[in-house]
Amino acid sequence: MTAISGADEHMYGGGGYKGSRSPVAEAYRVLRTNLQFAAVDRELKVVLVTSPSPDEGKSTVAQFLAQTISQTGKRVMILDTDLISPTLHKRFGLPNQKGLSSLIMGETDLATAAHPKAYPNLSVITSGPIPPNSSELLGSARMKHLMDRMREEYDMIIVDSPPVLVVTDAVVTSSLADGVILVIHAGRTHGGDVRRAQEALEGARANLLGAVLNRVHLRGSEYKYANSYTVSDVDSARAVETPKTDS
Ligand SMILES: Nc1ncnc2c1ncn2[C@@H]1O[C@H](COP(=O)(O)OP(=O)(O)OP(=O)(O)O)[C@@H](O)[C@H]1O
Ligand SMILES: [Mg+2]
């Protein structure tokens, strides 16, 4: 397994990226590298980040992964498909009057909605207004068309999503993704929930890439071992451990 420490202040703060040598940043680079290897035989352009239940760290992992990939100079998009309890606009300090839901409804265009100048190499599409029928929107032909357009314009698209076991939305959206990362909250997510989430995703023929074990308690030299690459106990999925930070 590899290790990431998820605390925002370790990597970002004061408006800039600053923690490039922190274990957190290093672990996200390992995750980035693992994704590159996973892409050896098939295109891995759209990666959905989800988890079984609420509050396990999906949006945190999606944000830092997108930012880490954008540092290589790739054109990266991060997309908030959590149309029920969206948070990306808050994380990136962006307005949310227009976003994905408005794009699907044809009320704005991609260039405007993507906030292209907010961050170097990183575009952010926030959720937009919360619709009453999120899974219908995410499963629509318009959503598919939109994703096809984004595939043309970006090198990598990281998709934040709601929890698998709460609504069908993440499973619906997984059919638009080339691969899925499952975030697991260390010591809190139940094994049964992991299996149920896996089954739901696999039932939709999602390509489960691996797991991110988030909020693992690790200190000092333990990082050294945690950063080595192994196979997780979540089936044979690749895993990245995300240590809990002291904050
Ligand atoms: N590794 C970590 N260390 C410390 N805090 C963390 C870590 N990962 C996530 N958090 C915190 O836990 C809270 C939940 O994280 P986050 O919003 O990423 O979860 P989520 O799975 O996207 O939740 P939701 O299901 O509501 O979308 C946030 O306050 C976040 O800052
Ligand atoms: Mg979230």
209 alpha carbon – ligand 2 mean position (Å): 19
Per-residue pLDDT, 22: 78
CATH number at residue 17: 3.40.50.300
Nearest to residue 128, comparing CAs of 159, 167, 93, 88? 88
CA 152 to ligand 1 centroid distance, Å: 31
The pLDDT of 167-174, averaged and rounded, is: 98
**Number of domain units in the chain:** 1
pLDDT tens track for 171-223: 999 999 999 999 999 889 999 999 999 999 999 999 999 999 888 776 554 54
Domain limits for position 15: 2-243
Instruction: Tell me the CA–centroid distance for residue 223 and ligand 2, in Å.
Output: 26
pLDDT at 186: 87
Asked if residue 128 has pLDDT above 90, the reply is: yes
Q: Across all residues in the chain, what is the average pLDDT?
A: 84
Alpha-carbon separation of residue 22 from 33, 56, 57, 183, 238 (angstroms): 17, 22, 19, 21, 22
Phi, psi of 238, deg, nearest 5? -75, 145
**Contact between residue 17 and residue 67 where contact means Cβ atoms under 8 Å apart:** yes
Is a pLDDT exceeding 60 seen at residue 60?
yes
**What pLDDT sits at residue 239?**
53
Residue the block writes with tokens 């930070």: 245
Higher pLDDT, 216 or 89: 89
| Confidence (pLDDT) at 23 | 78
Residue 56: CB within 6 Å of ligand 1? yes
Give 8-48 pLDDT, tens digit per residue: 444 443 334 445 777 778 888 989 999 988 888 889 999 99
Q: Where are the beta strands (DSSP E) in the chain?
A: 2-3, 12-13, 16-17, 46-50, 76-80, 122-125, 156-160, 179-185, 208-216, 238-243
pLDDT at 146 over 60: yes
Residues facing residue 213 across a β-bridge: 184, 241
Which residue carries 């239940």 as its tokens?
53
